Structure 1
Amino acid sequence: MSTLFITCGLPGSGKTTLARRLEQEHSALRLTADEWLHELHPNLSGDALDAMRGPVERVQWSVAERVLRLGQNVMLDWGLWSREERDHYRSRARLLGARVVLCVLDPPLDELRRRLADRNAESPTGTFHITDARLDEVLKYFQRPTPAELAMYDDAY
């Protein structure tokens, strides 16, 4: 049985670090939207970058479905900030007969700011510069999973 691992967390929470580890541990195809976006549009940021995220995620999900149907594991390394998004992908994966594991990364806000400052200074490949103002903006959209939601998954990290 294939497994879909999905990440839930804000920028700088450690999603990609965990995704890389789980990719190796579970022989999973890792789909990281930011890496594809950086490859396609390295100079975009803010709203322009957000406008490109939807098409990239749709293509990645199409690939993910094919891989899950083949019985292989997938690591979907996105933020999935809303309950609605998480429910959508959990339901779609279950229709394919896959297990679904939710990986929640939710460090304290001061830790997120520190990590983002470090990452911004280093500018590693596949990442985008995220200001404190941008983090404050996206915080408005983040819905932490409730215990009832967590119970809907096969496992959670």
Structure 2
Amino acid sequence: MSGDAATSGEAAGTAGTLFLTCGRQAAGKTTLARRLERERPALRLTADDWLHDLQPGVPGAALDVRREDVEALQWQVATRVLRLGADVVLDWGLWSREERDRYRNEARALGAGVVLCVLDPPLPELRRRLAARNAAPDRHTFVIPPAEFEYWATRFEAPTPEELALFDAPPVPVPSPSSSP
């Protein structure tokens, strides 16, 4: 066995930690994911970035038809990285308990720690952030019409205290709801 293999997480049997970002649009998930990427360090997987890179200039709604495929590919990368002992940040939103349960269970099966980073600012703050983001989008930003935001805002399934207890305690402070991303 080579020295590199003997020191990798895979050879040592220790997996990394999976960080799941959870929150509505404009909650600050990508801002937090970038911070975790830098500070841990960790591999950040942001589906929006990949979607925009695959088809630059295509509107968000048209890109969303590929989201499931991109997230499946990112999950393959994430599981490999976790097996190697490195940390991963999934910057996807994870709006439903079903999604969060799936990735938590699969990561635990690999021996990984799993941290759920919940960002849940009040709706007026989210509307303010969304308006600012829509006014000056960068190349990886989805412009979200206010009516679409309102539709989706009611579909977010916030984690319950019982669900939160299933995750490891976050080793980093998550911004408070009143914090700007």
Normalised-by-shorter TM-score class: over 0.9
Match of 2:59 in 1: 44
The structure with higher relative contact order (CA 8 Å, sep 6+) is 1
Runs of 4+ with >6 A deviation? none
Match of 1:103 in 2: 117
Match of 2:34 in 1: 20
Greater C-alpha Rg: 2
Deviation at 1:50, TM superposition (A): 2.4
**Counterpart of 1:152 in 2: which secondary structure?**
coil
2:70 is the alignment partner of 1:56:
yes
CA contact (8 A) 2:52 2:63 kept: no
Match of 2:5 in 1: none
5+ long unaligned stretches in structure 2:
1-13, 175-181
Rounded Cα–Cα distance in structure 2 between residues aligned with 1:10 and 1:41? 24
Deviation at 1:12, TM superposition (A): 0.3
Deviation at 1:125, TM superposition (A): 2.1
5+ long unaligned stretches in structure 1:
none
> What count of residue pairs does the alignment treat as equivalent?
156
Q: 1:123 aligns with which of 119, 122, 137?
A: 137
Deviation at 1:60, TM superposition (A): 0.3
2:16 is the alignment partner of 1:6:
no
2:147 is the alignment partner of 1:137:
no
**Counterpart of 1:155 in 2: which secondary structure?**
coil
Give the letter aligned to residue 157 of structure 2.
Q
Cα-Cα RMSD: 1.1
Q: TM-score, normalised by structure 2?
A: 0.83
Rounded Cα–Cα distance in structure 1 between residues aligned with 2:116 and 2:96? 13
2:164 is the alignment partner of 1:150:
yes
C-alpha deviations, 1:46-70, integer Å up to 9, x for none? 2x33211100000000000000010
